[in-house]
Amino acid sequence: MSFNSLKKTPRHFIILLMFSFLVLSAETDLAKDIKQSLISPCCWAGTVYVLDHNPEMEEQIERFVAMEKTKQEILDYYIGLYGERILAVPKAEGFNLMVWVTPVLAGMIGISFLIFYIRTPKDTPSGVISVPSGVPFDDEIEKELQKMD
């Protein structure tokens, strides 16, 4: 064994170690993504990733990832067990499409009303216009008031 081969061995080892770390990191990223995509069925109050109420489900997700199942396969498994309410983000199809479309439409309608309101001209009088009143003895009252001044 030569000196050059000894110098290459640690580099190969380090590269292999870094590659294996990336692979393991990718698996945990997939598990994390799945946990963030599912609502915890114990209380339906948050995602599996946020709540620590369901360790069995977390372990089962880790096992599915270790078995190299895809995200969609794992999600389909849980949809089969609990229905679509297990999903943290509803699918944008059918009635659920309203969840995505309604806020956008409401915002557009609100903005258009706001623009319409801002663009309408305001009827403001340009000055005070004296209109003769029909009060009897108006001229006499004015003369009396001028005498008092």
Taking only the tens of pLDDT, the chain with its 149 residues reads 454 554 556 777 677 666 666 555 555 788 888 888 888 888 878 888 888 778 888 888 889 988 988 889 999 998 999 888 888 887 777 777 787 788 999 999 999 999 988 888 777 666 666 666 666 777 788 888 888 87
Determine the pLDDT at residue 19: 64
Determine the pLDDT at residue 109: 95
Distance CA 24, CA 66 (A): 10
Determine the pLDDT at residue 86: 86
Domains and CATH numbers, the chain: 3-90 (1.10.8)
> What's the burial of 32, exposed, middle or buried (CB within 10 Å: 0-12/13-18/19+)?
middle
Select from 70, 43, 91, 25 the least CA-distant residue to 57: 43
Sole residue written with tokens 């963030």: 36
pTM given for the model: 0.51
Residues 6+ apart with CB under 8 A from 50: 36, 40
Sole residue written with tokens 């999600």: 75
Determine the pLDDT at residue 6: 47
Determine the pLDDT at residue 73: 92
Determine the pLDDT at residue 22: 59
